[in-house]
Structure 1
Amino acid sequence: MSDSNCIYLLASNERLIGTASGVMTFSAEDLTDIPLIASYPLGLIDHANYRVGIVAEGDLPEQVDQGALCGLRTMLASVEDETTYTLLSSAAQIAIWHESFKFCPRCAAPLHAHSGELAKVCSSCAHRQYPRISPCIIVLVRKGDQCLLAHASKFAPGRYSALAGFIEAGESAEHAVVREVKEEVGITVKNLTYCFSQSWPFPHSFMLGYMAEYESGDITPDGEEILDADWFSASNLPVLPPKFTIARRLIDRFLVDIGETLPEDSTLFFAAE
């Protein structure tokens, strides 16, 4: 059952419901005839209570043009402010978590949405399961007026970005930066500076953004995760990550630091200063 005081985002089979114009929102009245499998709080945003509702595939309000639905990256490309980004990122991660964690990790009994908090509770042993968050680092390495950008095997042709990787059990974020850079491109770095963070809903990463200075070594891509990497100046930047990414924010920070004017399609709502 929907709450009449809430605004709803909907998701089905891990997929948030929206179009190229952005995520779709619904009132409780819109959902009168739509059974919600589960509903989770997204919090108070711009003085409104938001929730994400989970529905069966194809079980959508009649105003939804299913032929116009698109993926999360396309929706994020239309985002113009940090509040909307946070809303989409949270809802998308919760939708994935809902589908991925259906049974208790302790006793294997079914999990059900908790009535009072963002969690699932076991119907047998009362164990609570919270949304998964995977901490990661992302780092832009500088060498004078150049920055190191890499082309990963999963990237679209021609796109380059900052280096990134998961933080392993027992290590600090700073250690992960040094390790990942060495593993992926073979160089050592120094003078790490933490800059900012971003929740990244692919599928549930929490990115900690760093700047680092080049110390020694020759760039040698690992050939698996990283296929190519090089030093780039402001005048010869390759195809960059989308404006809503923390990688683009780090690159913008670098450009500001060296006195360059930011591109028009820069990170509009993630200020680089």
Structure 2
Amino acid sequence: MFRPDSQTPDSSVAALHIVFQRGKLVSNMRSPRPCLLEDSLIEQGGWQVRRRHFMGYWEDQPCFAVEIDETHLLDPMEFQLGTLWQILGRVDESLFSLAGRAAQVLDWERDHQFCGRCGSPMRGHPVERAMICEPCGMTSYPRIAPCIIVLVTRGVEMLLARSASNPRPMYSTLAGFIEAGETPEETLVREVREEVGLDVGDLRYFQAQSWPFPNQLMLGYFAEYAGGDIVCEPNEIADAQWFHPDNLPMIPPPASVAGQLIQQHLKSIS
């Protein structure tokens, strides 16, 4: 449904827009595709566009990521300001991915107005999705933070943990950022040992997911328990337990790779 492209079309007639204001997603509550706003809505609202990036084509219609001026007052009977979390699982997966891509591109441009090397103003690259500094020649591309996310199993049981920073009683898979010089597999082994004190083996890649909170690329894995007792790192993990499929706690939605790892394991043992 979405076809990415970085070359802005000659005509933007019938364009669609994913609109943000003050970092919040603007949704049209009257639309079945709430985060895709048509040209007419922006024109009627008289919204001043501060940043605009061509993303590609949604069902052959050109689609732009747009940031509007924070002073515009939105009609609360028609529009809602929210986060990407609020549309996760409520819109098509490809549309959520597009909204996440739009948010990341706008955040990246906002955070790269000046060169991190020499401090000079940067400008958009004429061809690539990049910001360039003419005085020193530095080029900055959108930032991606690669992470591993792993479901550790022990027979049919699953190791699920509750994050120390999450007030909800949700249990999920373990995850962590890949550090400089590490492979994803090395990160996986290190993170599991650091967060819950366990050793793992038989690592199996599952699939990846772009996760715009704010700019992660999640690399999903399965791993088998290889030894040790659960000892939670208190700054990261509030609780971790082995759960039987018949007695699961609150778990992530299927739209997330964590939820997909859990569902895939349940399917494999059924």
Same fold (TM over 0.5): yes
Find the partner of 1:208 among 201, 210, 219.
219
Deviates more, 1:182-191 or 1:148-157: 148-157
Whether the aligned pair in 1 keeps the contact of 2:27 and 2:79 (CA below 8 Å) is no
Superposition pairs of residues 154-169 of structure 1, within 5 angstroms: 154-169=165-180
Q: Secondary structure at the match of 2:259?
A: helix
Counterpart residue identity of residue 179, structure 2: E
Partner of 2:6: none
Superposition pairs of residues 115-264 of structure 1, within 5 angstroms: 115-122=126-133, 124-125=135-136, 127-259=138-270
- TM-aligned CA deviation for residue 166 of structure 1: 0.1
In the aligned structure 2, how far is the partner of 1:160 from the partner of 1:199? 21
- TM-aligned CA deviation for residue 243 of structure 1: 2.8
In the aligned structure 2, how far is the partner of 1:245 from the partner of 1:10? 23
Change (3 A) 1:14 1:226: same
Find the partner of 1:18 among 27, 35, 47.
27
- TM-aligned CA deviation for residue 244 of structure 1: 1.7
Using the size of structure 2 for normalisation, the TM-score is: 0.86
In the aligned structure 2, how far is the partner of 1:248 from the partner of 1:106? 40
In the aligned structure 1, how far is the partner of 2:132 from the partner of 2:40? 28
Q: Secondary structure at the match of 2:114?
A: coil
- TM-aligned CA deviation for residue 151 of structure 1: 0.6
Counterpart residue identity of residue 73, structure 1: W
Q: Secondary structure at the match of 1:161?
A: coil
Q: Secondary structure at the match of 2:37?
A: coil
- TM-aligned CA deviation for residue 70 of structure 1: 1.9
Whether the aligned pair in 2 keeps the contact of 1:137 and 1:209 (CA below 8 Å) is yes
Change (3 A) 1:213 1:258: same
Whether the aligned pair in 1 keeps the contact of 2:28 and 2:37 (CA below 8 Å) is no
Counterpart residue identity of residue 4, structure 1: V
In the aligned structure 2, how far is the partner of 1:44 from the partner of 1:130? 21
Partner of 1:31: 42
Partner of 1:82: 93
Partner of 2:69: 56
- TM-aligned CA deviation for residue 158 of structure 1: 1.5
Partner of 2:59: 46
Gapped regions of structure 1 (runs ≥ 5):
260-273
Whether the aligned pair in 2 keeps the contact of 1:198 and 1:246 (CA below 8 Å) is yes
- TM-aligned CA deviation for residue 23 of structure 1: 4.1
In the aligned structure 2, how far is the partner of 1:13 from the partner of 1:123? 29
Q: Calculate percent identity across the aligned residue pairs.
A: 38
Change (3 A) 1:58 1:114: farther
- TM-aligned CA deviation for residue 67 of structure 1: 6.8
In the aligned structure 2, how far is the partner of 1:13 from the partner of 1:108? 25
In the aligned structure 2, how far is the partner of 1:45 from the partner of 1:203? 23
Find the partner of 2:82 among 55, 61, 70.
70
Gapped regions of structure 2 (runs ≥ 5):
1-10
For the aligned residue pairs, the C-alpha RMSD in angstroms reads 2.3
Change (3 A) 1:108 1:199: same
- TM-aligned CA deviation for residue 9 of structure 1: 1.0
Whether the aligned pair in 1 keeps the contact of 2:149 and 2:219 (CA below 8 Å) is yes
In the aligned structure 2, how far is the partner of 1:34 from the partner of 1:125? 36
Using the size of structure 1 for normalisation, the TM-score is: 0.85
Cα deviations across residues 32-70 of structure 1 (Å, max 9, x unaligned)?
A: 44332221122233322211012211436x667477322
Whether the aligned pair in 1 keeps the contact of 2:251 and 2:259 (CA below 8 Å) is yes
Deviates more, 1:116-125 or 1:247-256: 116-125
